[in-house]
């Protein structure tokens, strides 16, 4: 099966994580994709396939005979998607031979334009997979899952020699807790790669910090007629706090 065919199968399974949830995983729907992947991993010949009660899915592809002593290489992708624009069925749209110009998503009013997304111009002539403009697609990170599963299948079919390979699919990455309950020992890799990055042929070795800080500011509310020396405007304090953050370290100014 082609990677894009797998992607089309995966994206229709809605898996939005929930930042307001206190459960692990944050949304039960992530198990829907996890169970589908669990069955597929077993069909592809992976061993030690384990789906734990927190929706972390692990599997291994034993080394080719004679290569058992090589370092174990791991591949990771996450199953959840953002919750924004994910409240109804996802309908992927396949556009073949993209012309490099503006692209309307389905019958919606949403248009992808090279003016806003300059990289689109470099995709002229290729096949694009998008949503219909009313939901997210979920390629982040189901494209990574599709790539890993297709790689495993290709290695098996073409009998490509390899050392031990480890696979893991995780929940709740989009809300910053995907690594919180990751079982490194169960994963079993000496080196790991997350397939959730940029274009073909690129390996990223630096990463932004996805931690979250929740800041509560307590103001003092009082009638403006008697506000002198009493009123404490929490929004003003919030603005002052924001201005204290290093300008050179903001996302819009860093690589």
Contact 76, 173 (CB under 8 A): no
- Is-catalytic flag, 173? yes
**First-to-last CA distance in the chain?**
36
Contacts of 56 (CB under 8 A, 6+ apart): 168, 169, 170, 171, 181, 182, 183, 186
- The answer to whether the beta carbons of residues 114 and 124 sit under 8 Å apart is no
Contact 140, 130 (CB under 8 A): no
Burial 36-45 (b: 16+ CB within 10 A, else e): ebbebbeebe
Q: What is the bridge-based pairing of β-strands 47-51 and 93-95?
A: unpaired
Alpha-carbon distance of 195 to 157, in angstroms, equals: 22
Catalytic residue among 40, 80, 153, 174: 80
Q: Which of 40, 172, 173, 174 is catalytic?
A: 173
Please state, in angstroms and rounded to a whole number, the distance separating the CA atoms of residues 109 and 125: 23
Judge whether 198 counts as a catalytic residue.
no
Q: Catalytic positions, please?
A: 80, 173
């Amino acid at each position: 099966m082609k990677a894009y065919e797998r992607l089309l199968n995966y994206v229709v399974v809605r898996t939005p994580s929930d930042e307001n949830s206190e459960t692990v995983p944050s949304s039960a729907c992530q198990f829907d994709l996890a169970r589908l992947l669990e069955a597929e991993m077993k069909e592809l010949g992976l061993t030690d396939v384990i789906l734990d009660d927190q929706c972390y899915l692990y599997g291994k592809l034993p080394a080719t005979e004679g290569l058992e002593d090589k370092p174990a290489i791991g591949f990771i992708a996450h199953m959840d998607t953002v919750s924004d624009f994910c409240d109804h069925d996802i309908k992927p749209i396949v556009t073949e031979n993209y012309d490099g110009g503006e692209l309307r998503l389905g019958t919606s009013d949403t248009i992808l334009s090279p003016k806003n997304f300059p990289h689109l111009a470099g995709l002229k002539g290729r096949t694009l997979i998008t949503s219909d403009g009313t939901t997210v697609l979920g390629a982040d990170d189901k494209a990574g899952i599709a790539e890993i599963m297709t790689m495993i299948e290709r290695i098996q079919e073409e009998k490509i020699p390899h050392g031990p390979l480890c696979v893991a699919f995780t929940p709740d990455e989009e809300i910053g807790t995907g690594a919180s309950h990751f079982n490194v020992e169960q994963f079993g890799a000496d080196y790991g790669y997350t397939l959730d990055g940029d274009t073909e042929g690129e390996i990223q070795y630096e990463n932004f910090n996805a931690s979250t800080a929740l800041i509560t500011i307590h103001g003092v509310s009082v009638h403006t007629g008697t506000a002198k020396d009493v009123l404490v405007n929490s929004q003003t304090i919030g603005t002052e706090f924001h201005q204290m953050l290093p300008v050179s370290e903001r996302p819009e100014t860093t690589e």
